[in-house]
A = this chain, B = another copy of it.
Amino acid sequence: MSRSGADLALLLLGGYRTLVDAAVVELAARGYDDFRPVHDFVMRAVAAGADTASEVGRRTSVSKQAAAKTIAVLVDRGYVSSEADPADARRKRLRVTERGFDVLRQGEAIFDELREAWGRRIGAAELALLEERLTTLVGDDVVRPDAPGWVARDAG
């Protein structure tokens, strides 16, 4: 039985959604019910040194306006702090808060647990093989910064 190409795409999407939906639910259960996957991307950019909205926009391949909107939400929810930059009056210096780092760490842990659960189901070696094949096919630069909208609207 040769699957159709469309089925393959749906299978991949299904895999992603299965993991992310489970992670969002678990994160909500741990008290972060206002956190979305897209926030994770933006916060990682901030944590990695993008300390202005414009820079976050560039790194996540999104307009600075869109980045500013998302950041406003994150600041509002206490995941990111924003203060005037004494060295450059145009800039607002962004930093991930303690709560922000906490949700990032917990998110990582949840995904690792989910991956382990998958490993128990098909075998760790098989899972590693699957990852290897997928890496071959889609490349190692999955999170490359030239893909606009990549993660938006994926965990409604």
Within 8 A of B (CB), among A116-155: 116, 118, 121-122, 126-128, 130-131, 133-139, 142-143, 147-154
Q: Are B142 and A11 in contact, CB atoms less than 8 angstroms apart?
A: yes
Copies in the complex: 2
Residue of chain B at shortest CB distance from A2: B128
Residues of B contacting A57 in the complex (Cβ-Cβ under 8 angstroms): none
Given A10-B142, A121-B136, A135-B11: A4 in contact with B147 (beta carbons within 8 A)? no
A62 to chain B, nearest CB (A): 11
Residue of chain B at shortest CB distance from A6: B111
Q: Are B122 and A14 in contact, CB atoms less than 8 angstroms apart?
A: no
**Complex alpha-carbon distance, A96 and B122, angstroms:** 41
Interface string of A94-109 (1 = CB under 8 A from B): 0000000000000110
Q: Are A148 and B138 in contact, CB atoms less than 8 angstroms apart?
A: no
Q: Are B13 and A110 in contact, CB atoms less than 8 angstroms apart?
A: no
Contacting residue for A115 out of B5, B138, B147, B151, CB 8 A: B5
Given A110-B5, A112-B5, A131-B3: A149 in contact with B138 (beta carbons within 8 A)? no
Using CB atoms and an 8 Å cutoff, list the residues of chain A in contact with chain B.
2-20, 23, 107-108, 110-116, 118, 121-122, 126-128, 130-131, 133-139, 142-143, 147-154, 156
